Chains A and B, each alone.
Chain A
């Protein structure tokens, strides 16, 4: 009746349930009746001993039971059952992806930026959050378009028809905003004469890049990949550098940099540490 996958999950549910009771009884400091009644009633009558272990074991039991019922309702997702579902004699195959898709990498870089942002400050966090949002939208559009028809070229055209009106202005806004922000930071940091130089060099670079885009409007896949990699590494590298440097001091007296932030947990000196192995 039940197949291997469901059997495993039902077994896990049983083990989890018995373990939850045994664990609660073993860690309870109540009388024998209460220490058994407690775990059986989810703590409603009597105690459950160590709440952490008990909660986790009960969750294991319930969730593996749910997963077991779910899987057995799908007949363990057996190919024959799936073929029947779509009215075919053989189950449809999952095709291998054949085109390059950079959204997983961009998503991962965005997640890494988010991680750095959690440590360093809001700028990287916002960059990561924006990157992740864009990734989700683009990924969803791509996944949908890939299943629109049986012709990959038509699917590409459909995706572009939907996404270009959003992507092109969006990319332009992000590009301009990024450049303005970056140049403004550089100008702030430079002396007067340096600012004049930057003011001359930046438009020249723009002109050169614009010419390159017109001369070679379609970039190779490898060039796109390389640009993504360099851009991603630059963003993360900048974030880690910011973590090393700490918060920049603005104006006023220049205080000595401190590694900890205000309000954080007091950090113990290494000599005070007690090393416990295994737990």
Chain B
């Protein structure tokens, strides 16, 4: 025990002794299954999210077609339509948007804060594998006639438990990410100087820590109830989805989109080649947006609750920080008088515009009396809220794909294809608007409520437009996928560490970054733009 009782000493003592040869780096399958490298885990999240999430979007397209003319064009038989509808909604969030954002954050955030590792790297790996297996089991539960509205008790139980595993895994990832930003920053990098994307990820992660456990607790309750006779309305398979609906509506849905603001702020500041003049304000705005996105209190709400002043205020307040960040981005461009346009900037602009659409709609929908509420329906059963969810999810997906493109040489092996990369965000933005605006119109002037079993809620003509919007979004995703193909192959030329003239520490790491991220010691950070400081010193 003498050896093990040697207490950790100072760096000087430790570095004086020569340790034995380091372990060889694992390769092949071992490097995937056994890796604790945050970049590998992030890449796994991204690839798996695209593989699992894109078919879910195909389902969205099918539902768009279902809404055309339901009497003559039935895509889904009535006995599976409800289950697939819930798969679509849960899948877009937990199989696509959340893991995509987490994947980008896992790769980029440790680099941005100048850390050689993510906090709790093995827990981060466990979060990926837990999420991935949970997602497979979630899909399997539908395959055995489970899920909300399912006819198999085993299948319904499996759905609830798999959702629990997914939520626990996302929470674990959130703890790793938030701890990385809070406790693993390099010398001199105070939170005030932390890159805005890393800051936004920390805020989002903290908000996930505050809200997702409420969902987890409800899932446990549902499981116990369903397993033991369904005395509560929550536990019956038809009661599950309505009880979880709060995670799909505003303000809760905004927790997904907090990193959109950080990404846009970071990209515009770098592309404009200037220091962010409104940095404090933008940082504060991201914090405020995170705070007003807390929507867990609407779990099982009463009608009074949905019409309450608090919901109205939160709904309207969410627009302000988004506009502040957009203003900060414009100010950065105006201040420098130049903008290096490229796919990253296009994604950032598209992401924030889509979020403006979503939050503006949220503000309008929150105003009492704007939305028609047919008798017997709750205020938030209006199709309008489906549009808000879709707008925010599309904004998050745009930002995540933009993140992969912007940090392509860190995420993959080389830069993304720029020409197709410029088209993708445009298609996603246009598709997103075409997909969501008809739902807003239907919500205000149409029959309003999606209550029919044939999914023909809203205005029939508007549903055609929605389907076209989904198709454009799918095209955008295809374009994005094509533009990201170069990330998979090693380019002939050496990839520059800093292709954009970056401001923050991730651009100091070689492309692609090695294990341990940085070569040599990092200098003490003296401002929010350490790379500018370095260039000015030279």
Contacts and interface: CB of A to CB of B under 8 A. Distances in A.
Q: Is A–B contact present in the complex under a CB 8 A cutoff?
A: yes
Interface of A: 3-5, 7-9, 11-12, 15-16, 19, 22-23, 26-27, 49-50, 52-54, 56-57, 60, 63-64, 67, 71, 76-80, 82-83, 87-88, 90-105, 107-109, 111-112, 114-116, 118-120, 139, 143, 147-154, 158, 220-222, 224-226, 228-229, 236, 240, 243-244, 246, 259-261, 263-279
Interface stretch (B4-12, B93-101, B464-472, B487-495): B4-12
B34 A26 contact: no
Nearest to B439: A277
- Shortest Cβ-Cβ A-B pairs, 10 listed: A265-B230, A100-B34, A278-B385, A108-B129, A97-B36, A221-B30, A26-B308, A119-B158, A104-B126, A279-B380
A112 B450 contact: no
A49 B303 CA distance: 12
Contact of B308 (A27, A71, A119): A27
Contact of B115 (A93, A105, A270): A93
Contact of B182 (A5, A103, A221): A5
Contact of B123 (A71, A104, A225): A104
Given A71-B182, A76-B190, A277-B381, A105 B203 contact: no
A259 B145 contact: yes
A150 B9 CA distance: 10
B190 A152 contact: no
Contacts of A63: 210
Interface in B114-133: 115-117, 119, 121-123, 125-126, 128-130, 132-133
A143 B122 CA distance: 10
B330 interface: no
Interface string B59-80: 0000000000000000000111
Interface in B227-265: 227-230, 235-238, 242, 245-246, 248-249
Given A4-B192, A63-B210, A151-B20, A279 B301 contact: yes
B3 to A, nearest CB: 6
Nearest to A55: B297
Contact of B133 (A109, A267, A274): A109
Contacts of A266: 230, 236
Contacts of A274: 451
Given A101-B34, A260-B152, A277 B386 contact: yes
Given A79-B186, A259-B154, A56 B34 contact: no
28 contacts: A8-B291, A12-B210, A22-B308, A23-B305, A54-B297, A76-B182, A82-B183, A93-B116, A96-B517, A97-B117, A97-B121, A104-B126, A104-B129, A105-B126, A114-B161, A221-B30, A222-B27, A236-B137, A259-B145, A261-B154, A263-B229, A265-B237, A273-B238, A275-B453, A275-B457, A279-B298, A279-B301, A279-B378
A221 B26 CA distance: 7
Given A276-B377, A278-B245, A111 B122 contact: no
A268 B149 CA distance: 7
Contacts of B145: 259
B158 A270 contact: no
A278 B26 contact: no
A94 B184 contact: yes
A94 B128 CA distance: 21
Contacts of A240: 137, 140, 144, 158
The binding surface of chain A is classed by DSSP as helix
Contacts of A87: 10
A88 B11 contact: yes
A51 to B, nearest CB: 10
Nearest to B382: A278
B191 A4 contact: yes
Interface string B136-169: 1100110011000111111111100110110011
Contacts of A27: 302, 304-305, 308
A152 B23 contact: yes
Contacts of B115: 93-94
Interface residues of B, number: 148
A85 B421 CA distance: 47
Nearest to B237: A267
Contacts of B304: 26-27, 49-50
Contact of B225 (A90, A99, A102, A265): A265
B451 A100 contact: no
Contacts of B377: 276
A267 B187 contact: no
Contacts of A77: 182-183, 185
A260 B297 CA distance: 33
Contact of B121 (A57, A83, A96, A264): A96
Contacts of A147: 8
Given A152-B20, A259-B152, A104 B122 contact: yes
A92 B11 contact: yes
Contacts of B292: 15
Contacts of B31: 100
B59 to A, nearest CB: 15
The binding surface of chain B is classed by DSSP as helix
Contact of B33 (A83, A229, A269): A229
B287 to A, nearest CB: 4
Contacts of A118: 157-158, 161, 223
Contacts of A271: 78-79, 453
B23 A98 contact: yes
Given A3-B191, A4-B287, A11-B287, 7 more contacts: A90-B187, A112-B136, A116-B137, A149-B3, A228-B33, A260-B153, A279-B378
Interface core residue of A3, A103, A149 (most chain B CB under 10 Å) = A149
A139 to B, nearest CB: 7
A15 B310 CA distance: 11
B305 A80 contact: no
B419 to A, nearest CB: 35
A154 B17 CA distance: 13
A90 B287 CA distance: 29
Nearest to A152: B23
A162 B18 CA distance: 24
Contact of A23 (B187, B246, B310): B310
B283 interface: yes
Given A3-B190, A154-B3, A261 B133 contact: no
Contacts of A108: 126, 128-130, 132-133, 169
Interface core residue of B33, B140, B161, B235 (most chain A CB under 10 Å) = B33
A259 B14 CA distance: 62
B26 A99 contact: yes
B300 interface: yes
B497 interface: no
B139 to A, nearest CB: 10
Given A60-B294, A277-B383, A102 B33 contact: yes
B158 A105 contact: no
Given A97-B121, A109-B129, A147-B8, A83 B187 contact: yes
